Structure 1
Amino acid sequence: MEERPFDTFLDSLCYISDHIGFYGTIKHSPSDFVVTEIDVSGQLVTKDYRIGSEDMQRNSNNENDFKKQKVGPRAANTTHSPAEFIKDVSKSVSEKVDDVSNDPNLLECETDLYNLHNPLLSLDVQKSLYNFACSVKSTFESPVTGSDHCELSLGLFPDKNNRANIHSAVRQTHPFLLTFTRSTELLVKPNLDYQELSQLTSEEETDAFFKFLDAKVDNSKFTFQPDVCKEHRTSVHHFISKKFGKLVETKSFSGESNDGLQKVSITVRFREKKSSSGKRQRTEENPDIFTAFTLEKENLETLEAISYLSSSLGVLPSDFSYAGIKDKKAITYQSMVVKKVTPQRLLEVESALETKGMKIRNVHSVNHHLHLGQLTGNHFMIIVRDIGSHSGDTSEDLQKRVDEAVHNVKTRGFLNYYGPQRFGKGQKTQSHEIGLALLKEEMAQATKLFLTPENSDDPVNRAKQYFYQTEDAKGALALMPACKIRERMVLRALNRYGLSEEGCVRSWLSIPHSMRIFYIHAYCSKVWNEAASYRICTYGSKVVEGDLVFRNEDGNEKSSLGDRVRIVTAKEEDDKVYSIHQVVLPMPGHSIKYPTNKVGQWYKEALANAGLQSCKFRVGNLQLNIPGCYRPILKYPHNLIYELIVESANQSQEMEDWTNSEDLKSLKTSLKLSFKLDSSCYATVCLREMMKCNF
């Protein structure tokens, strides 16, 4: 394999702003680059963080409301499930309400309206909801049909977890109402499906059925009252199948009553989930154990850290879940969940992990794993050392250069490229090359690239060099360090199944799915980077006909991402309906649409040149399915704070304290930065735009 300069394809990517920039050194040491994950509720993952705690957000954001409602010490200090929390708070709220209507016609509505929500809903909103619910119920019971209710807004709720809690509470208390979200606004309207079913069954059964649907409890069933009329049962079957057939299935069961008549009941149950292979998953009597923790690591890749953890705990790397991959040469804090390991067992290996550059915090039990992307972003604290002018002219006003660069990034943003860590740092092979070989189903080539040695003389590369020269998988396995889980899995499979095409397929199947698909995502990321650069070079910051833009005005959170991406028309271009920050570009896949302008043609030619003109973005023998996604072309840093620091061997002070330019020449200047980025954004890319240089 030929050696080539690293990141040559990043050098060719364009910028969004035209300021001059400056040079500097990042990641001089891991402590210069500190990354802290931000969870879905907007909280930093720090030492006192509790992942998955239902009470964390409530206690921190609503403490005053909690005290005002006098829930009591037990309710305030005890950890609850969501249902228990709603029940406890509702009791206290209902005690505070003394003006509930005494109208007997309204009492048929659920009078526990005021005890359905946590303090996220004010009493005024709950009263409005009460009146709206009674009006809907009255209309449903009226013989006059065709009445139409307007929607009722419950307010804006940016946090998704809070919205989910309110959705559930409203539907469980008022199953005849339907909740939905428009952007971050939560609204309710009449549930017309409820009205239709209530004409076939009793009101009590209809209530119970919709509560059953909303609860979605695994392995639960719902049975209607026995029914002797076959035609009526058929109507119920058809209704449920038509409205909810993808979610539940129905079946009739016969039985004999005390009077000897044959009666039949309809039972409804949730459909079993299917695995990716289409087979129904086996229900486990004993649920898995999940333990959550915060991982602090230094100078270690996320996947490498997982390899150490899995080896120490005696579990598979696939038993770990996380929200995102973090930088290697940095100090990072991130959430993790491990399956099949108790908190006590995890704490037993804590001291041994510190020798590997890892610390574990906040160990506690949860009942679910994490998903990739289950975060809102990351907070960065970065020191860029030895900064200076690109021209090398020490007389240039460095403060002015930095101010201009930071201002442009704040106001104009940065092109949302995937960072260099997405592609690896190999001089001979990089992750995107392996991904391309996998997409082309060239398994032997992908395996060869995966095991290609670099020039460094370390145990890993010595083992790879041995295999590269001898193709002796067993001998290379003996040389490969125990911590290199992926490499050892591949070599073990090659030793067992041989170097044939089938053996290479089995070697890739031996490593976890998330690691296999990582390489394909790396290739798709490279295509996206080059497409974004071409888009800006071709059209600039203007939104043009044929661009793809993201919209969310339909308010339906359950709509697919593809449904919320539209193609800009000529009229919309003329009317300037959209701005550049709404433009998205697709990551290649089988379920995305491409721009219809020159950028779409560029995608077609780029994939054809790579030999992927007929690629379906499914690699069946590796169980890889690549639907694709959409990524905003532009992003902005949040809460960006910076300062220049002048350092010498004996002192460090702010730059404005130095007035003598001759003194400045003999001192080193550093830039301290603090900012937040949305998930899947790269700080190195933000710095690249700011400094106008690659790293």
Structure 2
Amino acid sequence: MEEDTDYRIRFSSLCFINDHVGFHGTIKRSPSDFIVVEIDEQGHLVNTATNEPVYEISKILPEPNNFAKKPKLDLQNVSFEDGKKQEVNTLARGSDGDQHQSGSEKEDSINGGTSECEEKADVLSSFLDERTNELLNQFASDVKEKWTSKPEPIGPSPEFSVGRILDKNRRAILHSAIRQKFPFLVTVGKNSEIVVKPNLEYKELCHLVSEEEAFNFFKYLDAKKENSKFTFKPDTNKDHRKAVHHFVNKKFGNLVETKSFPELNYSAANPNVAITVRFREKAHKHKHRKSSLLEREERKAIYTAFTLRKENMEMFEAIGFLAIKLGVIPSDFSYAGLKDKKAITYQAMVVRKVTPERLKNIEKEIEKKRMNVFNIRSVDDSLRLGQLKGNHFDVVIRNLKNQINDSANLRERILEAIENVKNKGFLNYYGPQRFGKGRKVHTDQIGLALLKSDMVKAIKLFLTPEDLDDAVNRAKKYFLQTEDAKGTLSLMPEFRVREKALLESLHRFGMTEEGCIQAWFSFPHSMRIFYAHAYSSKVWNEAVSYRLATYGSRVVEGDLVCLDEDVGDEHLPNSKVHLVTEEEESANTYAIYQVVLPVLGYNIQYPKNKVGQWYHDVLSRDGLQTCRFKVPPLKLNIPGCYRHILKHPHNLTYQLMEDHDIDVQTEDSHTKEATLSLLVSFDLDASCYATVCLREIMKHDV
């Protein structure tokens, strides 16, 4: 097969964030060298019921967090001891909360009230030592004093660190307790550390209303008490009321709504009107109830959950095979995320219209296809994409060598590389498997054709053969030469489920534009939208490289930053994304790990600097100037999202081993030479790629 030059060009242009030298090695020499286990939303590994041996190579105690833990295997091999016992840097992810402070972690809802300052003081006294509590009170006092000084001081905002709190529940309580006692402060989560800063929004509101009102308003917001209301003092100035409305809706419109009500003694002579604030109702309360017939049908629906173990197999091929054996269609299967092909992978799945007993009956048959199903049970609903916490990886990197012209100690190079990425993170690129490494046509090219509604071109791209003389590629070559779907069907091997489904539709509806639309509907929605997402992913990768080449690691005016560390990228709403101002750039308010870039879609905002213009230029280059990221014929709506440009691995552990069975040929003989292999184990947030993390560690494409 010809070299995949497009892949080589697009991935050699990706950047690195760390400055270590790195090393060479071989990844995925066999599927058992790359084991992926999904971590569900509760933080549990989905393979917990299996006896499958999974590498666990920890010699360094990781920092406790919400990711899953496994029993350790005692591997009697050469290992690193870093001596520092540093805790792993984490960028904690959690479910979407209703936070309003920038960077604050998700906290429990603690109701506000007039007596709560005393309660919060008690909480702070019990959670913080006396000295820290005293320093926190002094910091709060200093902030208030500086705000009232004339002239006001300039420069970056002061900060106070409460320290690292490893237990997430304690952190949540402390976040809320501090903000309830001192509403003029905000708390920010940084790798389990709680940092306290002045609340600039509080200060801004004090220019519009009294400090007493601002104080009580922010206490009300933070308490998040359902069905509660807050009312500002009556105001006769309509323009001033308008300014207060504008401020509240601009800053907190996703959380609350405002309305003006006249006072009881309202009259033309006494036009007192008060602004009342209340929390928005949850969206589900506005949904219409389904008819009783539909509700009965929904109750009758059967959903069976299970864990799928597959080896060296594409996920869609696995689903197609299961669908045939169970007598359902591929779209009856739902899953939380896609998994690698050349690997042993474990993931949660749900299938509709199949009982647990039926699934158990085919266990023996599917074992012949290098698949297993277990943890089979009835559930109430299907899975959705992104419904997971992350993935655990156990990877063996073999044939370790120094980079060319590097004579340093290899073990030291490996230690340096791993510690750097553990502490500084890696650039969060989409991995090569997203685009189909080694193929003539990449998934993003098909996605671009779909976004341009060129259905015929998209079909031809999908059926483009590789330069291999096998049954699959001979069938594809025949189709492109003849467009004879029926004849191609007879040539296509049975195991190519997607291709056969597509060809059956083309045989029925023809190779017209409408026929190709019908052919795409032979794929489940998740597969159709996968191609459109692949195009957005490719552009995002390019955007990261451009952003770093243009501005480096500085956070500059016009950048987009995430204001909530606990919200995952796929759930990050526009309200949690902030546009960096000139003043914030000067004050170094934000760090590079908070910067996000938009993944293309119809509901995203662009950076307001050179990067934003770059996005528009790329859309113009690809003929998508007027694209609304909706493809009605295929029922595809792509809202877009935001993605952090920097991520950290969690629970990263590693160990060196010696392989003694490597056959090395010299001029006069064959000898057995010991080579080093590296076992590395880590957890990644959902939608992060292990190959990208390893690329940053090794400093070369993998």
Specify the TM-score bucket, using the shorter chain as the normaliser: 0.5 to 0.7
Structure 2 residue 601 is the aligned partner of structure 1 residue 593: no
Give the counterpart letter for 1:632 in structure 2. Answer: H
Please state whether the residue corresponding to 2:376 is helix, strand or coil.
strand
Find the aligned partners of 2:571 and 2:325 in 1 and give their Cα distance.
42
1:605-644 equivalences under 5 Å are 605-644=617-656
Q: Does the CA contact (< 8 Å) of 2:569 and 2:642 recur in 1? A: no
Q: Which amino acid aligns with 2:530?
A: F
Match of 1:336 among 349, 354, 357: 349
AA aligned to 2:660 is S
Larger radius of gyration: 1
1:42 CA displacement: 1.3
Alignment map for 1:8-47 (pairs within 5 Å): 8-47=9-48
| 1:9-36 Cα deviation digits (max 9, x unpaired) | 0111111112221111100001101111
Contact 1:589/1:627 (<8 A) preserved: yes
Structure 1 segment 118-517 matched on structure 2, within 5 A: 190-192=225-227, 271-272=288-289, 284=297, 286-391=299-404, 395-517=407-529
36-45 vs 281-290, which moves further? 281-290
Does residue 565 in structure 1 map to residue 557 in structure 2? no
* Aligned position for 1:666: 673
Equivalent residue of 1:403, what SS? helix
In 2, distance between residues paired with 1:559 and 1:692? 31
Judge conservation of contact 2:555–2:585 (CA < 8 Å) in 1: yes
Q: Which residue number corresponds to residue 156 of structure 2? A: none
Q: Which residue of 1 aligns with 2:588?
A: 576
From the superposition, tell whether residues 313 and 12 of structure 1 become closer, same or farther in structure 2 (CA, over 3 Å): same
Distance 1:421 1:590 in 2: 25
- Once the two structures are superposed, what CA deviation does each residue of 1:139-167 show, in whole Å capped at 9, x if it has no partner? xxxxxxxx89889889999989xx9xxxx
Letter in 1 for 2:689: Y
Which residue pairs with 1:88 in the alignment?
Answer: none
The reply on whether 1:548 has 2:560 as its aligned counterpart is yes
Compared CA separation, residues 644 and 626, structure 1 to 2 (3 A): same
RMSD: 3.9
- For residues 107-122 of structure 1, the aligned pairs below 5 Å read none
- What is the rounded CA distance, in whole Å, between the counterparts of 2:549 and 2:383 in structure 1? 38
Contact 1:149 1:189 in 2 (8 A): no
* Counterpart Cα distance in 2 of 1:549 and 1:359: 42
Q: Is the 8 A contact 2:661 2:672 kept in 1?
A: no
- For 1:556 and 1:355, how far apart are their aligned partners in 2? 38
Given residue 457 of structure 2, which amino acid in structure 1 is its aligned partner?
Q
What does the per-residue CA deviation read over 1:343-395, in whole Å, with 9 as the maximum and x for residues that have no partner?
Answer: 100000001111111011111111111111111111111111111122166x5
TM-score (norm 2): 0.66
In 1, the alpha carbon distance for the partners of 2:563 and 2:617 equals 28
Partner of 1:267: none
Cα separation, 2, equivalents of 1:338 and 1:472: 34
8 Å CA contact 1:290, 1:338 repeated in 2:
yes
Equivalent position SS for 1:544: coil
In the alignment, the residues of structure 2 paired with residue 194 and residue 391 of structure 1 have an alpha-carbon distance, to the nearest angstrom, of 67
Structure-to-structure mapping, 1:44-83, within 5 angstroms: 44-48=45-49
Write out per-residue CA displacement over residues 190-216 of structure 1, whole angstroms, 9 at most, x where no aligned residue.
5446999xxxxxxxxxxxxxxxxxxxx
Q: 1:149 to 1:648 in 2, by over 3 A?
A: closer
Secondary structure at 1:408's aligned position in 2? helix
The CA distance in 1 between the partners of 2:280 and 2:652, in whole Å, is 49
Q: How far apart, in 2, do the equivalents of 1:152 and 1:189 lie?
A: 17
1:122 aligns with none
SS at match of 2:598: strand
Q: Does 1:690 align with 2:700?
A: no
Once residues 650 and 539 of structure 1 are traced to their aligned partners in structure 2, the CA distance between those partners, rounded to angstroms, is 46
- Tell me the equivalent position of 2:145: none
Separation of aligned partners in 1, 2:465 and 2:566: 52
Q: Secondary structure at the match of 2:386?
A: coil
Q: 1:149 to 1:517 in 2, by over 3 A?
A: same
In 1, Cα distance between the equivalents of 2:336 and 2:566? 28
Where 1:666 maps in the other structure, the secondary structure is strand
The answer to whether the 8 A contact 2:4-2:438 is kept is no
Tell whether the 8 Å contact from 2:569 to 2:644 is kept in structure 1 after alignment. Answer: no
Contact 1:152 1:188 in 2 (8 A): no
Shift of 1:316: 1.1
Q: CA deviation at 1:539?
A: 1.1
User: Equivalent residue for 2:102?
Assistant: none
| One-letter identity of the residue aligned with 2:480 | Y
- What amino acid sits opposite 1:690 in the alignment? I
SS in 2 for 1:363: strand
In structure 2, C-alpha distance between the alignment counterparts of 1:509 and 1:628, rounded to whole Å: 22
2:506, 2:593 → 1: CA distance?
47
Does the Cα contact within 8 Å between 1:544 and 1:568 map onto a contact in 2? Answer: yes
Report sequence identity in percent: 53
In the alignment, the residues of structure 1 paired with residue 489 and residue 119 of structure 2 have an alpha-carbon distance, to the nearest angstrom, of 65
Give TM-score scaled by structure 1 length. 0.67
Please give the secondary structure, in 2, of the residue aligned with 1:649. Answer: strand
Equivalent residue letter for 2:42: S
**Shift of the alpha carbon at 1:628?**
0.4
Alignment-mate amino acid for residue 498 of structure 1: G
- Once residues 667 and 462 of structure 1 are traced to their aligned partners in structure 2, the CA distance between those partners, rounded to angstroms, is 43
Letter in 1 for 2:41: V
Q: Paired residue for 1:168?
A: none
Change in Cα spacing, 1:553 to 1:329, as seen in structure 2 (3 Å) is: closer
1:182 Cα shift? 11
Decide whether the 8 Å contact of 1:152 with 1:189 is kept in 2: no
1:678 aligns with 2:690: no
Aligned to 2:255: none
Instruction: Compute the displacement of 1:406 (Å).
Output: 1.0
For 2:297, what is the secondary structure of its paired residue? coil
- Are the counterparts in 2 of residues 293 and 337 from structure 1 also a CA contact under 8 Å? yes
Tell me how far 1:432 sits from its aligned partner: 0.6
Q: How far apart are the structure 1 equivalents of 2:26 and 2:284?
A: 55
Q: CA deviation at 1:444?
A: 0.8
In 2 relative to 1, CA 520–346 (structure 1 residues): closer, same or farther, beyond 3 Å? same
Change (3 A) 1:318 1:573: same
- Cα distance change, pair 339–676 in 1 and its aligned pair in 2 (3 A): same
Distance 1:342 1:451, change over 3 A: same
> Aligned-pair distance for 1:482?
2.6
Indicate the SS of the match to 2:36.
Answer: strand
- Using the alignment, how far apart are the partners of 1:665 and 1:602 within structure 2? 54
Structure 2 residues without counterparts, runs of 5 or longer: 51-65, 70-107, 128-164, 173-186, 195-220, 232-278, 664-669
Partners of 1:665 and 1:351 in 2: CA distance: 41
Give CA deviations for 1:289-340 in whole Å, capped at 9, x if unaligned: 1111111111011121111111111111111111111111111111111111
How far does the alpha carbon of each residue in 1:81-133 deviate from its partner, in whole angstroms, 9 at most, with x for none? xxxxxxxxxxxxxxxxxxxxxxxxxxxxxxxxxxxxxxxxxxxx9xx99xx89
Contact 1:310 1:317 in 2 (8 A): yes
Instruction: Say which structure, 1 or 2, has more relative contact order (CA 8 Å, 6+ apart).
Output: 2
